[in-house]
Amino acid sequence: MKSELKKLSALINRNVKLYFKDKMTFFVSLLTPLILVVLFLTFLKGVYANTITSLLPKGIEISKSSIEAFCGGWLFSSIVAVSCVTVAFCSNIMVIDKINKSIQDLNITPVKKSTLLISYFISNFFTTFLICVIVLVISFVYLACVGFFLTFSDVLMLLISTLCMSLFGSLMSSLVGLFISSQGAQTAVSTLVSSMYGFISGAYMPISQFGVGIKDFLSFLPSTHGTILFRQYYMNGVINHLQTVDKVPSDVAEKIRLAFDGKLILFNTEIPTWALFTVLIGSCVLILGLYILFSHLSKRKHIKESIKSKNSNSF
Amino acid sequence: MTNNNVIEIQHLKKYFKEIKAVDDISFTVKKGELFAFLGLNGAGKSTTINILCGELAKDSGKIYVDGMDVDKDISRIKPQLGVVFQNSMLDSKLSVFQNLKIKAQLYDLSKEKFKENLDLLANKLEFQDILNRPLYKLSGGQRRRIDLARALIHNPQILILDEPTTGLDPKTRILVWKLLADLRKTTDLTIILTTHYMEEANEADTIVIIDSGKIVANDTPNNLKNKYANDFLKIYKFDKTLPSLLKKDKIDYTQNDKMIEIEVADMNKAKNLIVKYEKLIYDFEVLKGKMDNVFLNITGKDLKEVTL
């Protein structure tokens, strides 16, 4: 047991080093967040600022710092939510090892297959969480510059949400990674995840702007639940500020909150925060179960072939 | 299984759909032996090795390593194997030291033992000065030396070399074989080699030739040459009438500016020719047949042509 833990630690160390040494992989995994920043700076920030002011009743004006903080919070809630998944998919060393065949060299060592798989998952989770925490810190610095309205509880919950979403992203990546063994498949999956995930999780644009059918469909996805969690904790403080300091009426503040996905509404019912967490953690448990099942099946397939060979020997 | 056999393979089969990659092969490898596995690409060598390492499931047959069944005891077998793959499988972004250290940790090597083995290998394979360099910055020869060091870092009993010296410069090739010879002498290391280089196979204690998944020959290099390859009488200095006499006697020969070469079935035939033309031959040598000819005569395929 002790020896297996030492091997696990050596493997995790290796996987993390490999990720950070490969500048290309590191850069690609940050591509989606960077695209979001560029989109935000070029036009999204203006669009969202206009949307907020258009929702305000005549005679009410809100401070520039409130708008900046609101838009910044919205941007960073998208960036962190998307990064938790895209970074996990791009930093999956198991897939890289399968593509460049390094896994063959690991398979001939006396390391249990389960130890190897756990090492891939833990290192993937660690790198994803680390990078997302860095993004989180950057977001706090940005908000501190333009207007910081987060409470200690918001910061803590953002950290917990990042942990849960990194876990979700890493488990998804590990599960999908079991079925990828070629560069072509990896490119296809990375491209799909990078381009699609932002849409299906409501990170690129608020899901309130989608049609009813799509909105309901997206609201079912655990990824959307994760994004909404970030939205809530990034925007709660600034919306409170709008109401208390900028004197925005509560119904208007609520409209703004809904327009920017500050709440998840499913079949006209508001989904409470605990339910968002439950869905996210439940999904993690489900994916973990599938991951264990499929890893086990691939192992069984190997054993089954050996047993088949034993039977044929007896003839 | 006799005590002297470190590997015993019985009726091994592996089919990939209709392709018979390995088709009912059996052979044994003795402890401390240099065992060469000859065959063209796709003949079944790498498949056999992958099954032996527990990397690939077989369809049928048995493999024992040091008396242990690969099906049941693979975790006990793995520490005894060191493998140099056809292509380097190490982490190119990591340094030589990091690569070797991680692999040593996976074999449960203590820090002291790792240091001792690393010093020995770095000294013998001359890579002390590149220990901190990432692998992608190394030349092909340097990288191959690190592959070999990785395979030996945990003191395996059996070293599997899958085309180990392909693309190596002559100096590195000599270095590699010198280390292997030393290890065989000092540690009784068993080496299983797959190669296209005939001179390497020539050094083996036993050669198995595999063709289309089947073993077509299994013997010592000398016996194989005696059975399957003709010898050569090379005449370097001769009387100018010799070529016309050979032609007259209907003896096939090839001639260039410097010598006449006559292919003969065996040493006796060569001796008879020398005696017959004794007065016309001033300088000569008789060479045993080459492994290329053995391979050609057994499989009908020219190893040189196919592998070039």
State what percent of residues in chain B have pLDDT above 90: 44
Same domain, residue pair B41 and B159: yes
Which pLDDT score is estimated for B108?
92
Which pLDDT score is estimated for A306?
44
- Give the A:B interface size as CB pairs under 8 Å: 88
Can you give the three-state secondary structure of B164-217, one letter per residue? CCCCCCHHHHHHHHHHHHHHHHHHCCEEEEECCCHHHHHCCCEEEEEECCEEEE
In angstroms, rounded to a whole number, what is the distance separating the alpha carbons of residues B43 and B214?
A: 8
Residue B95 · residue B145 · CB < 8 Å: no
**A109 to B87: CB separation less than 8 angstroms, yes or no:** no
pLDDT tens, residue by residue, B100-129: 999 999 999 999 999 999 999 999 888 999
Q: Is residue B52 part of a domain?
A: yes
Same domain, residue pair B68 and B149: yes
Angle subtended at Cα B59 by Cα B57 and Cα B60, rounded to the nearest 5 degrees: 115
**A306 to B57: CB separation less than 8 angstroms, yes or no:** yes
Which pLDDT score is estimated for A307?
43
Tens of pLDDT, residue by residue, chain A (315 residues): 778 899 999 999 999 999 988 888 778 777 777 887 888 878 888 888 888 888 888 878 888 888 889 999 988 998 999 899 989 988 889 999 999 889 989 999 999 989 999 999 999 999 999 999 999 999 999 999 988 999 999 999 999 999 999 999 999 999 999 998 888 888 888 878 877 887 777 777 788 778 778 888 888 888 889 999 999 999 999 998 888 888 888 888 888 888 888 888 887 788 899 999 999 999 999 999 999 998 888 765 554 444 444 444 333
Same domain, residue pair B165 and B267: no
Using alpha carbons, select from A260, A305, A291 the residue that is nearest to residue A47: A260
Chain A residues with beta carbon closer than 8 angstroms to that of B102: 10-11, 13-14
Find the domain containing B22 and state its range.
5-224
pLDDT tens, residue by residue, B228-275: 888 889 999 999 899 999 999 999 998 887 789 998 888 888 899 999
Which pLDDT score is estimated for B165?
67
Where residue B3 falls among pLDDT bands split at 50, 70, 90? low
In angstroms, rounded to a whole number, what is the distance separating the alpha carbons of residues A285 and A52?
A: 38
Chain A residues with beta carbon closer than 8 angstroms to that of B85: 101, 104-105
pLDDT tens, residue by residue, B18-61: 888 888 999 999 999 999 988 887 788 888 988 888 888 889 99
Same domain, residue pair B206 and B131: yes
Q: Two tokens at A229?
A: 């969690």
The residue type of B198 is M
Residue A208 · residue A261 · CB < 8 Å: yes
**A313 to B105: CB separation less than 8 angstroms, yes or no:** no
Closest approach of B228 to chain A, Cα-based (Å): 34
Helix residue spans in A91-150 (DSSP H): 93-99, 102-107, 113-146
Which pLDDT score is estimated for B303?
61
Same domain, residue pair B69 and B203: yes
Which pLDDT score is estimated for A310?
40
Chain A residues with beta carbon closer than 8 angstroms to that of B13: 309
Same domain, residue pair B117 and B19: yes
Q: What ipTM was predicted for this assembly?
A: 0.79
Residue B118 · residue B102 · CB < 8 Å: no
Same domain, residue pair B204 and B96: yes
Same domain, residue pair B220 and B237: no
**Domain CATH for B246:** 3.30.70
Distances (CA, A) of B72 to A50, A298, B48, B64: 69, 18, 18, 10
Return mean pLDDT, chain B: 87
Give the one of B61, B90, B107 whose C-beta lies nearest to A110's C-beta: B107
Count structural domains, chain B: 2
